[in-house]
Structures are given as C-alpha cells and as structure tokens.
Amino acid sequence: MSEEALGVLGICGSPRAGNSLFLLGEALAAAETVPGIAEGSKSLSVRGKKLAPCIACGRCYERGDCCLEDDFQGMRDAWLEADAIIYSVPVYHMSMPGQLKCFIDRLGNSLFGKYRHLFSEDKLPKFLKAIGSIAQGIHLHSGQEHTLTDLINHALLMGCIPVTGDLWQSYIGGAGWTSNDGEGTALERQCQERLPDALLALQSARSVGRRTAEMAVLVRAGAQGLGRAAQGDPIYRVFIDSVPGNPGSRR
Ligand SMILES: Cc1cc2nc3c(=O)[nH]c(=O)nc-3n(C[C@H](O)[C@H](O)[C@H](O)COP(=O)(O)O)c2cc1C
C-alpha cells in the first residue's frame, strides 16, 4: 500500500459559520486521528461563494467543463483531489441548502463531460471516494434524514462509497438539532452546557468523521489488487490514477 497520506475534504453547506461548521470541525478532527490520514484537512464552505444553478446548456458534454465560471471550478478540483469527503449541512426546507445543490448538480454533469473520452458509450467513472454526511436542523424530525438521504444518493451517483458513523447515534449519517434555537452558535453552546441531544450530535459527527476516513484507507489498500485487475476497465481509471504508486498515477 502507498505510504502517502490520504486527504480528507470537509464541505460545509451553510451560508454562515454556524452549527454545521462546528460539527464539520469535530468530524475532521476525528478523521485526522485515523492512521494514514494527512493532518490539516482541507475545509471548504459554500459561504460567500458564487455557485450559480445549472442552466442545462449541455455544453459541459462537449467542453468537459461547466460553461458557468464562478467558484464551482475550485470546489470541483478540491472534490476531485480528495480521497474522502465529509459534508456537513444545515437542513433547509427538509433538504440541503440551494448553494450546495447547485454545486452538486453541476459536479455530476460536468465530470461526465470531462471523462466521457474514457468510454465508448455514455458512462460516469466510479470515483470511489468515501463520503460521510452530517445534517443539522433546528427542530427534531424535521428533515435530517431526508437531507442525509440526498447526500447518500449523491455519493452513489458519483460512484463513491457512502459511509455512516456508529449506531446508535448515526444510522445513516451524523445528525443534530438545536432545540428550537436558531443561533449559529447554539449547538456549540449546548455542548458546553452538556445537553444530551447536543452531545449526541457531536458524537455522531465524530463517528462519521472517523469511519469515513477509515473507509478511505481501506479502499486505498484495496486499490493495490484492483490496480492490476482493472487496468483495462476505464470505469476505475480516474480512481486508479489517483492512487500513488499505480501506473499512470497523477500523484
Ligand atoms: C431557509 C431555511 C430553511 C430551514 N429549514 C429547516 C428545516 O426544514 N428543518 C430544520 O430542522 N431546520 C431548518 N432550518 C434551520 C437550520 O437548519 C438550523 O438553524 C441549522 O442549525 C442551521 O445551521 P448553520 O448554523 O450551520 O447555518 C432552516 C433554516 C433556514 C435559514
């Protein structure tokens, strides 16, 4: 197995530096305790970013890139570079905030265009990144699971591996609520006050961080065998090329 440390990318889906960013920081700190994971994980946020919605022009199929030039391209490159990704998002209207959805919509289609030259028929490569998700709402039973399911579907669609934390705090991802408190600092304060629900949210975020990082390490180890067996299958090409030491590796 390659000795090079794996990179974890945190993506915060909130337009403010609030509760989801707090949980993301905890998840990333837990991820970094896993042997083989690089220190100083990269963390991005949609906050202050320009992420326009897809206009369905279809030009990404020909150009291999999105024709809308804004903060999407930088986020896409960071996404492609990472071995593991942890999303931490606030629940908006029972789902993820629009800025993040804009990024995800454009990511899938533009990467399809970027890599279609690998295939003789239309396919999207399997990127095989470990993806963990955390959803944070103000109320209880108010969209956390729907939001996590949307992110799990995104992971599956991108040929990635959705990862959950540990039961019982994290059935399909990390989740929390702030007991009707809308402040961006609510969850951190409630953790300091040792409120049980806030501590559960913290625990779930940490376990998502740790397990997602571990999965990335396991996948990297598995790539050794896959590297030989799947040389001829372009569906794995982008992943194999991301593994140091494999022939054609871009690292
Ligand atoms: C436009 C909008 C829609 C929201 N919709 C929901 C919702 O459907 N369910 C929920 O539990 N909280 C909802 N919230 C509350 C946020 O999810 C909650 O305050 C969260 O902690 C914010 O995270 P942040 O501090 O990282 O921004 C909504 C907030 C906004 C601004």
pLDDT for 1: 44
Q: Is residue 3 part of a domain?
A: no
- Average confidence (pLDDT) over 50-73: 96
Provide the number of structural domains found in the chain. 1
Mention every residue, 6+ apart, whose C-beta is less than 8 A from residue 180.
138, 139
CA of 225 to the centre of ligand 1 (A): 44
The per-residue pLDDT for range 148-164, each reduced to its tens digit, is 999 999 999 999 999 99
Q: Which amino acid is at 235?
A: I
Question: CA 43, CA 190: separation in Å to the nearest integer?
Answer: 24
Q: Is residue 42 part of a domain?
A: yes
Q: What is the CATH number of the domain that holds 69?
A: 3.40.50.360
Q: What is the pTM of this model?
A: 0.96
Q: Is residue 229 part of a domain?
A: yes
CA of 20 to the centre of ligand 1 (A): 10
> What are the DSSP calls for 49-98, one per residue?
---PPP----HHHHHSS-SS-STHHHHHHHHHH-SEEEEEEE-BTTB--H
CA of 35 to the centre of ligand 1 (A): 34
Q: Is residue 2 part of a domain?
A: no
Question: CA 176, CA 188: separation in Å to the nearest integer?
Answer: 11
Q: Is residue 34 part of a domain?
A: yes
Q: Which ligand 1 atom is nearest residue 184's CA?
A: 25
CA of 126 to the centre of ligand 1 (A): 32
With the CA atoms of 94, 100, 103 and 104 taken in that order, what torsion angle do they form, in degrees rounded to the nearest 10? -40
Q: Is residue 98 part of a domain?
A: yes
Pocket of ligand 1, candidates 87, 89, 92: which has the most ligand atoms within 8 Å of its Cβ, to mutate?
92
Q: Is residue 1 part of a domain?
A: no
Q: What does DSSP say about strands 84-90 and 161-163: parallel, antiparallel, or unpaired?
A: unpaired
Q: Which ligand 1 atom is nearest residue 139's CA?
A: 11
In this prediction, residue 230 has a pLDDT band, given cuts at 50, 70 and 90, of low
CA of 80 to the centre of ligand 1 (A): 28
Q: Is residue 204 part of a domain?
A: yes
Q: Is the CB of 94 under 6 A from ligand 1?
A: yes
Domain encompassing residue 202 = 8-241
Closest C-alpha residue for ligand 1 atom 2:
92
Closest C-alpha residue for ligand 1 atom 3:
92
Pocket of ligand 1, candidates 20, 22, 89, 91: which has the most ligand atoms within 8 Å of its Cβ, to mutate?
91
- Average confidence (pLDDT) over 176-200: 98
Question: CA 1, CA 24: separation in Å to the nearest integer?
Answer: 28
In this prediction, residue 247 has a pLDDT band, given cuts at 50, 70 and 90, of low
